[in-house]
Structure 1
Amino acid sequence: MNDKQQRALAGGWLDSELSRRQFLKVTGTLATAAAVGGSFFTENQARAESFGDPVLVETSSDVDIKYSVCLQCHSACGIRCKVVDGVLVKIDGNPYHPNNLEPHLPYDTDPDVARLIPARICAKGHAGIQTIYNPLRIKEPLKRVGARGEGKWETISWDQAFTEIADRLKPLRDLSTPVDPNDPSLGPVANKVVFSGGRNEHGQKEFTDRFWGNSFGTVNKRHDHTSICEASHHIGYGFATGGAKSKGSTDLPNCEFVLWFGSDPMAANFPFVAQSRKLMDMLKKGGKLAVVDPRCNVAASKANWWLPIIPGTDAALALAIARYIIDNELYN
């Protein structure tokens, strides 16, 4: 599928030539339509309900319930998938899972009872349906044709893809010849192979690590989204713990004061659903929250103090706090 076909399939949403004037014109029209549409809400609601029970998906015994785990991020929250005639129609939180409901349902709870118990899940989890049904989802191997960057691809069979990839890997599976005899630190030729797994989730990355690292022999066994989007907290915790890659298990509900630097626990991080719930529990109990962020994010809007520092001055503020604690002997 070439670039033009992708844009046509996406209905124009990938068009990067949308001007500011066009954008304002479209959004203004939508705002007007929303305002006018609100005045007909009662009529539209009645028409919608005339087509069937709006809670059918929630309560009907014709809906097949499948329990699983969400892989939209690394939180691994529980999901309750509702399937009608083989089609996934809705994803909800799993009440048996501690990320989604606190306290979670005992595991011996009757499934017919559990299906009626609401449990939370974030917008990304709800949008998991698009992982399956998005019209731009790639379902078959694509091979580039033409020049790199030209955006032209052809569909090939899985057998052809496996054969061509294996043929390219064979000469690189060399564990004795150095990449550069003058620089032994680069290791053997096998290290020329880099596996970039994209959104390689738990259960998948363990398998690919064994294959590329243990079997093939490259040290570049995984360059995934973790290397790009969350390396900072792994490195930070590594420095704080002497090498352990752990984000800890903060007892948020029982904290008296929380100082949050450079992230939004109510819109990001993981497990976001459980973390934001516990943070709100702390605030309800009288705990205090300070958020350090140039942007007034969601957590800052709920905090007792928002500290809008200049971007890049996080370390200076942290050192200033440490200096104040030492100078005033506030440590224990």
Structure 2
Amino acid sequence: MTDIKKPNQADDSLAAAPRMTLSRRTILKSSALLGGCAVLMNHIDGAYNLLHAMESGAAGAGEYPLAKATSVIYSACLQCHTACPIKVKILNGVAVKIDGNPYSENLIPNINYDTALAKAAKIDAGLCPKGQAGIQSLYDPYRVVKVLKRKGPRGSNKWEVIAFDKAIAEIVNGGELFKSIGENRRVPGLKELFALKDAKASADMAKDAKEVAGGKMKVEEFKSKYNAHLDTLIDPDHPDFGPKNNQFVGMWGRIEHGRIEFGKRFMNGGFGSNNIIEHTTICEQSHHIAYKEATNQYKEGKWSGGLTHMKPDSFNAECIVYFGTGFVEANFGPPAMCPKVTEGISAGRLKVIVVDPRMSKSASRAWKWLPVKPTTDAALALAMIQWI
């Protein structure tokens, strides 16, 4: 596997390097490489020589370093929640270009799985600009790649780097972790918060706590029933608070499926805390709730069963309405969506309607563009419902 290195600052001596005169043809021919050179920095001499060889024609097509199987790492994009398969191109240990994985079946069209890696290295699948900007995320100078511990009052923005093992020890064991900066208080560790370890008792107490909250069981009755476990509760007089385990909150931002399930299994099933805050709360909540409330069915005295996601069948649809979004420059996964819609429009099978106050890229390709005034979206939706 190729290791990805973090580039260092460019050598000051490069300032004295002679300037090249590039033709328009050469710029177009070398644009991908130049994009990588902006990141390489300490490998710029080698990249300069390669560029010179390409410009003079001395380097053949087979010598292009990014077209070698050994210069490619296949991975998944995490720039949005679609997680498109990608191929990362490496030059001198530095990621210089990201494209779509040509093997991927959701990036249309795709190559056969039995295609040799050497051949696949020369074939790129599509990827949106957000995905290609993954290099910026990887080499962002503000990206946190080490454990930081507060070294001053809250809000002072003072930090120190500590070893990973030390961070684990402090988080697990707790203690007077900020004594060195004048805070004479004890911070509880995870060992202390991991108070209720009996899975059956935890499930029974949670069930009866709901009975207390609903007025079907008295607090004193609850305390008598679970007298042996009262010391594990946050507040025995408020059993709905749950055990001290709930004082451990798992909160993460950009996280994809696989890690989400692992995190929930650790927090809920392993540690016994109900408090998990994932990115959906701040990322997809609007359409999750709107879709769910619109598709809920009334059964057995309650509304339930709604869908949080509804995606059009772009391959077979005859008309798609994009309401406040699009298929070209936004939405979940343009690389997977755009080719399907483009094929439908080109074949004359699909008509697209875009509802957007501005003339977007998607609107420019639409059969109908409805430039609604801001705040009138609901009125248009209700009018459509009435007409239907």
Provide TM-score, normalisation by structure 2.
0.65
Match of 1:257 in 2: 319
Give the conservation status (yes or no) of the 8 Å contact 2:69–2:117.
no
Number of aligned residue pairs: 285
Q: Could you tell me which amino acid in structure 1 is paired with residue 286 of structure 2?
A: S
Give the conservation status (yes or no) of the 8 Å contact 2:100–2:124.
yes
2: CA distance, partners of 1:282 / 1:43: 34
Residue identity over aligned pairs, in percent, reads 43
**Aligned CA distance change for structure 1 residues 57 and 128 (closer, same or farther; 3 Å):** farther
1: CA distance, partners of 2:66 / 2:71: 11
**Aligned CA distance change for structure 1 residues 149 and 271 (closer, same or farther; 3 Å):** same
Q: C-alpha offsets along residues 183-206 of structure 1, whole Å, 9 cap, x if unaligned?
A: 443333322322111112222122
Give the conservation status (yes or no) of the 8 Å contact 1:120–1:273.
yes
User: Offset of 1:161 from its aligned partner?
Assistant: 0.9
1: CA distance, partners of 2:114 / 2:311: 27
User: Offset of 1:155 from its aligned partner?
Assistant: 0.6
Structure of higher CA gyration radius: 2
2:342 paired with 1:280: yes
2:190 paired with 1:169: yes
Match of 2:374 in 1: 311
**Aligned CA distance change for structure 1 residues 277 and 195 (closer, same or farther; 3 Å):** same
The one of 282, 287, 290 equivalent to 2:353 is 290
Give the conservation status (yes or no) of the 8 Å contact 2:312–2:320.
no
| Partner SS state of residue 261, structure 2 | helix
Range moving further from structure 2, 235-244 or 187-196: 235-244
1: CA distance, partners of 2:271 / 2:362: 45
Give the conservation status (yes or no) of the 8 Å contact 1:290–1:304.
yes
Match of 1:17 in 2: none
Give the conservation status (yes or no) of the 8 Å contact 2:85–2:101.
yes
The one of 304, 328, 340 equivalent to 1:266 is 328
Match of 1:208 in 2: 263
| Partner SS state of residue 260, structure 1 | strand
Matches within 5 A, 1:68-79: 68-79=75-86
2: CA distance, partners of 1:197 / 1:204: 10
1: CA distance, partners of 2:81 / 2:53: 37
User: Offset of 1:240 from its aligned partner?
Assistant: 4.0
User: Offset of 1:69 from its aligned partner?
Assistant: 1.8
2:386 paired with 1:323: yes
1: CA distance, partners of 2:135 / 2:356: 33
Match of 1:87 in 2: 94
User: Offset of 1:319 from its aligned partner?
Assistant: 1.6
| Partner SS state of residue 321, structure 2 | strand
Match of 1:30 in 2: none
Provide TM-score, normalisation by structure 1.
0.76
2:179 paired with 1:125: no
Matches within 5 A, 1:109-148: 109-148=115-154
User: Offset of 1:51 from its aligned partner?
Assistant: 1.1
Give the conservation status (yes or no) of the 8 Å contact 1:99–1:271.
no
| Partner SS state of residue 252, structure 1 | coil
Match of 1:158 in 2: 164
Report the aligned-residue RMSD.
Answer: 2.9
Match of 2:273 in 1: 218
Match of 2:246 in 1: 191
2: CA distance, partners of 1:267 / 1:229: 18
User: Offset of 1:162 from its aligned partner?
Assistant: 0.8
| Partner SS state of residue 282, structure 2 | helix
User: Offset of 1:91 from its aligned partner?
Assistant: 1.7
Match of 2:293 in 1: 239
| Partner SS state of residue 52, structure 1 | helix
Q: Could you tell me which amino acid in structure 2 is paired with residue 98 of structure 1?
A: E
1: CA distance, partners of 2:285 / 2:65: 40
**Aligned CA distance change for structure 1 residues 272 and 44 (closer, same or farther; 3 Å):** closer
User: Offset of 1:58 from its aligned partner?
Assistant: 4.1
Q: Gaps (5+ residues) in structure 1?
A: 1-8, 10-38, 326-332
| Partner SS state of residue 254, structure 1 | coil
**Aligned CA distance change for structure 1 residues 304 and 141 (closer, same or farther; 3 Å):** same
1: CA distance, partners of 2:25 / 2:342: 38
